[in-house]
């Protein structure tokens, strides 16, 4: 058996130039800060087991992490509840949009931690006496995944809290079902703040690598979560990470990933690497058009597809 290609041999700037000629998709306009995103922002990064990170141009441009935070919220909830989060949120794909106002039939639980209902719940399961403490613990946890202190874009957090009507509706629905403990408003505030965390492609790749490499941050050497938690999270990224496009993603890219409305995608290829791609124009499922293309190319060039033999 031949060994897979060395990620160090890949020219990420050449790949980026090929991506820039792709023009499809529309930038999310749910809040002004996302609507103002540069449609030509395009960056890629790969974080490798030896702690090195390979980047293209613009891999240091900050953006709000949005739903790419969901795998990490799930991980922190699993740690802080000692695994009980697995009983409180489902793990089945929905085939529906990220913000569908729907809970699991029969149980009243959110369907999975990668859609908004699930992430509102997992964020509220993170330890903390009240929303400020919970947000502080989330910030510390996300920073450990990143290997550096992460900041929050206060304007984004404010607007998402204010304008996230569907998230408020989901939180109220979960309260009515007895699934959510904090007040609906506190739950939305904590989730909105997590989504407003600022990252860049380089940082997000390290976060993805920490999950891909069994919970140890390859840059700092810190064990952030157990190997079991990392495995559980990556499994759910594989089945639910790209919303109602998860099946198509798994066939074409074959790497567990999480998409987001800021146009970022975080990928965790177990045992191999973490990767991040960002480009704001999105397709109908809310996946970055160039990000998807980039992920297909990375998967092909580096033989990352989980089911390729």
Residues of this chain that bind ligand GLU (CB under 6 A): 30, 66-67, 98-99, 116, 160, 164, 167, 195, 260-261, 286
R_g (Cα) of the chain, nearest Å: 18
Nearer to ligand GLU, 34 or 48 (CB): 34
Strand order in the sheet with 257-259: 53-55, 43-47, 273-278, 264-269, 257-259
Residue nearest to ligand GLU (CB): 67
CB atoms < 10 A from the CB of 235, how many?
13
Strands (E), the chain: 43-47, 53-55, 63-64, 198-199, 257-259, 264-269, 273-278
Nearer to ligand GLU, 157 or 275 (CB): 157
Residue 259 C-beta: closest distance to ligand GLU, Å:
7
The CA-atom distances, in angstroms, between 179 and each of 141, 143, 171, 257 are 24, 28, 9, 26
Residue 124 CA to residue 184 CA, distance in Å, equals 10
Q: Provide the CB-side half-sphere exposure for 219 (13 A, CA).
A: 22
Nearer to ligand GLU, 259 or 299 (CB): 259
Residue 56 C-beta: closest distance to ligand GLU, Å:
22
The CA-atom distances, in angstroms, between 279 and each of 41, 233, 293 are 5, 24, 11
Residue 302 C-beta: closest distance to ligand GLU, Å:
26
Residue 264 C-beta: closest distance to ligand GLU, Å:
8
Nearer to ligand GLU, 217 or 246 (CB): 246
Residue 83 C-beta: closest distance to ligand GLU, Å:
25
Nearer to ligand GLU, 160 or 202 (CB): 160
Residue 9 C-beta: closest distance to ligand GLU, Å:
32
Nearer to ligand GLU, 53 or 276 (CB): 276
Residue 201 CA to residue 182 CA, distance in Å, equals 33
Residue 198 — φ and ψ, nearest 5°?
-90, 130
Residue 116 C-beta: closest distance to ligand GLU, Å:
5
Residue 106 CA to residue 190 CA, distance in Å, equals 27
Nearer to ligand GLU, 99 or 186 (CB): 99
């Amino acid at each position: 058996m031949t060994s897979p290609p060395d990620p160090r041999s890949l020219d990420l700037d050449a790949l980026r130039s090929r991506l820039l000629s792709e023009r499809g998709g529309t930038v999310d306009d749910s809040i002004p800060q996302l609507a103002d995103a540069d449609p030509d922002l395009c960056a890629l990064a790969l974080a490798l087991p030896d702690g090195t990170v390979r980047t293209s141009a613009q891999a240091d441009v900050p953006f709000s992490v949005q739903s790419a935070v969901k795998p990490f919220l799930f991980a922190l909830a699993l740690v802080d509840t000692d695994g009980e989060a697995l009983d409180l949120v489902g793990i089945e794909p929905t085939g529906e949009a990220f913000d569908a106002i729907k809970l699991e039939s029969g149980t009243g639980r959110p369907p999975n931690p990668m859609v908004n209902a699930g992430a509102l719940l997992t964020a509220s399961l993170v330890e903390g006496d009240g929303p400020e403490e919970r947000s502080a613990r989330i910030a510390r946890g996300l920073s450990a995944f990143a290997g550096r202190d992460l900041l929050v874009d206060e304007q984004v957090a404010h607007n998402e809290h204010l304008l996230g009507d569907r998230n408020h509706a989901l939180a109220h629905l979960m309260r009515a079902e007895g699934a959510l403990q904090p007040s609906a408003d506190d739950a939305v505030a904590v989730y909105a703040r997590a989504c407003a965390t600022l990252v860049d492609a380089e940082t997000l790749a390290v976060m993805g690598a920490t999950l891909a490499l069994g919970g140890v941050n390859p840059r700092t050497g810190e064990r952030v979560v157990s190997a079991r938690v990392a495995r559980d999270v990556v499994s759910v990224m594989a089945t639910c990470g790209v919303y109602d496009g998860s099946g198509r993603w798994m066939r074409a890219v074959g790497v567990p990933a999480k998409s987001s409305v800021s146009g970022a995608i975080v990928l965790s290829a177990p045992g191999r690497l973490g990767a991040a791609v960002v480009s704001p124009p999105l397709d109908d499922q809310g996946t970055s058009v160039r990000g998807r293309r980039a992920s297909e190319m990375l998967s092909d060039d580096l033989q990352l597809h989980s089911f390729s033999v």
